[in-house]
Amino acid sequence: MLDRTTVLLCLMLAMPAWAGPGHDHGDGAPVAASDAPKRQPDGSVFLPKAAQRQLQVRTERVAMADLAQTVELAGRVVADANAGGKVQSTQPGRIEAGPSGLPALGQPVRKGEVLAFVRASESATPELKVNLELARKKLARLEQLEGAVPQREIESARIEVESLGQRLSPSGGAMVAREALLAPVSGVIAATYVVAGQVVDAREVVYEVLDPQRLQVEALAYDAALPAGIEGAVASPAVGVRVPLQRVGAGRLLKEGAIPILFRIPPDAKAPWTLAVGQSLKVYAVTRGKVQGIAVPAAAVVKSPSNLDIVWVHTAAEHFVPLPVRWTALDGTTVAVLDGLKDGARVVTQGASLINQVR
C-alpha cells in the first residue's frame, strides 16, 4: 500500500502546468510549406507547377543557328520632305484668322487651304524703299558693265527693281496688302507658333504641316562601309515594339562625325502615327554578315543580383537554373545569345523577370 506522500507526488506530476502572466511564448513557429517558391543555396529556383501557371511562365527549346549580323544605330524620326513643310510669311505683318479660324494642333488640312492671313504693317514701307534703292544701284552698276557680265543678271536686276516699284506704287498696296498663308501639303497641323493679332517678321515660321503616314527615320553610322552592306532594318521606339524600315539612301556629307542613312517607314507599317518628328529611337540594321548564336526573345535576358546578363533554363519540372550569357541585339524584340547557352536547352521566354525576383 502506497503512503500518502507517494500518492500526492504522482498527482502533481500528472497535472498540466501553466506559465505565469508574461511567461508564455505563444504558438510554435509554423513549418515552412514545402511547395512554396524559393531560391536554393546554389542560386537556382524551386517553382511549383501551380506557381508557374499563376506567373504564366512559358519555356521554349532553342537551337544554335546562323543568324544575320545586326548593328544597332542611333536614329530619330524626321518628316518626309515631300509630305511635310513649313508655312512662312514673306513680309512682316499682323496675323489674321482664315476663313475657318486659326487651325489647331492635329487639325487635318488640305494642300492649298488658307490657314491664316498676314496683313502688312506700315513699317514695311521703309524697308521696301531701302530695298528698291539698293536694287536700283545694283542695276546701274550692272548696266555699266554690260558686255562683261551675262545679260541674264542685268535682266534679273531690272525685274527686281520693277517688282519693288510696283509694290510701293499706290496700286501695289504695300501697306494694306493681305498675304494668304497656304498649306504646302495635305496632312495635319504638327506645330503652331502664332495667335490672332500677333505680329510676325518676314520668313518667320507660322505653322508646320506634315503627313503622319509618311514619316522617315534618319540613323547615324560611324562605319563608312556599313551603308553599302545593309539589307534590311527595323526601328524600335520602345521595348518590344518593331517598326519595319525601307532603306532610301545614305549621305555623302558627315553629320556629327557619322554618315546619315535615311529609311522610309512603309505606309502599311503597324501604327506609324505613334511616332513623332524628332523622336529618338534605336535602329537595328541587318547586314550581309552572319553570326552563330541562339535566338531568344529580348525579355528572356534579365539581370542577376551581381548585374550579370542571365537567362533562366528549365532543367526539371519545378527547377530553374540561371546561366550567364553574352548576347547581341537582332531587333527590338529578339537577341542572339553568343555564349553561355547550350544547344537544345529549354529557356524561359516569358516570366523570366518574375522568376528572377524569387528569393
The 10s digit of each residue's pLDDT in 199-242 is: 998 889 999 999 988 899 999 999 888 998 898 899 988 877 88
Residue 188 lies in a domain: yes
Are 258 and 337 members of one domain? yes
- The pLDDT tens digits for 30-84 are 444 467 899 999 999 999 999 999 999 999 999 999 998 889 999 999 999 899 9
- The pLDDT tens digits for 239-298 are 778 889 999 999 989 988 999 999 998 877 765 557 889 999 999 999 888 889 999 998
User: Measuring CA to CA, how many Å separate 72 from each of 69, 236, 249?
Assistant: 10, 10, 17
Helix (H) or strand (E) holding 142: helix 124-144
Pick left, alpha or beta for residue 100 (phi over 0 → left; psi -120 to 50 → alpha; otherwise beta). alpha
Are 304 and 324 members of one domain? yes
Contacts of 191 (CB under 8 A, 6+ apart): 105, 207, 208
Helix (H) or strand (E) holding 135: helix 124-144
Are 236 and 316 members of one domain? yes
Are 230 and 350 members of one domain? yes
CB 322 within 8 A of CB 310: yes
Distance (Å, whole) CA 240 – CA 232: 18
CB 64 within 8 A of CB 293: yes
Q: Residue 139: exposed, middle, or buried by beta-carbon count in 10 A (0-12, 13-18, 19+)?
A: buried
CB 96 within 8 A of CB 178: yes
Report the pLDDT value the prediction gives residue 63, as an integer from 0 to 100.
93
CB 116 within 8 A of CB 90: no
- The lowest-confidence range among 23-27, 315-319, 341-345 is 23-27
Report the pLDDT value the prediction gives residue 77, as an integer from 0 to 100.
94
Residue 292 lies in a domain: yes
Distance (Å, whole) CA 309 – CA 298: 11
**pLDDT exceeds cutoff 50 at 156:** yes
Residue 307 lies in a domain: yes
**Distance from chain centroid for Cα 357:** 29
Report the pLDDT value the prediction gives residue 269, as an integer from 0 to 100.
74
Are 240 and 297 members of one domain? yes
Are 242 and 203 members of one domain? no
Is the model more confident about 270 or about 314?
314
Domain residues for the domain of 141 are 90-210
For the domain that residue 276 is a member of, what is the CATH number?
2.40.420.20
> How many C-beta atoms lie closer than 10 Å to residue 259's C-beta?
19
Q: Which of 190, 210, 230 is the last residue of a domain?
A: 210
Residue 176 lies in a domain: yes
Residue 109 lies in a domain: yes
Task: Label residues 204-239 b or e (16+ Cβ within 10 Å = b).
Answer: bebbbbbbbbbbbbbbbbeeeebbeebebbbbbbee
Task: Return the residue matching grid coordinates 524561359.
Answer: 348
Task: Return the residue matching grid coordinates 487651304.
Answer: 113
Residue 19 lies in a domain: no
Are 193 and 243 members of one domain? no
For the domain that residue 205 is a member of, what is the CATH number?
2.40.50.100
Distance (Å, whole) CA 344 – CA 352: 18
Q: Which of 183, 210, 237 is the last residue of a domain?
A: 210
Is the model more confident about 193 or about 127?
193
- The pLDDT tens digits for 172-196 are 555 457 889 999 999 999 999 999 9
SS3 276: coil
Are 188 and 249 members of one domain? no
Give the CA angle between residues 237, 245, 82 to the nearest 5°: 100
Residue 94 lies in a domain: yes
Report the pLDDT value the prediction gives residue 195, as an integer from 0 to 100.
93
**pLDDT exceeds cutoff 80 at 115:** yes
CB 320 within 8 A of CB 313: yes
Amino acid letter, residue 306: S
Q: Which of 162, 187, 210 is the last residue of a domain?
A: 210
Are 126 and 249 members of one domain? no
Q: How many domains does the chain have?
A: 2
Residue 34 lies in a domain: no
Are 131 and 185 members of one domain? yes
Task: Return the residue matching grid coordinates 515594339.
Answer: 241
> How many C-beta atoms lie closer than 10 Å to residue 68's C-beta?
15
Are 171 and 268 members of one domain? no
Are 69 and 133 members of one domain? no
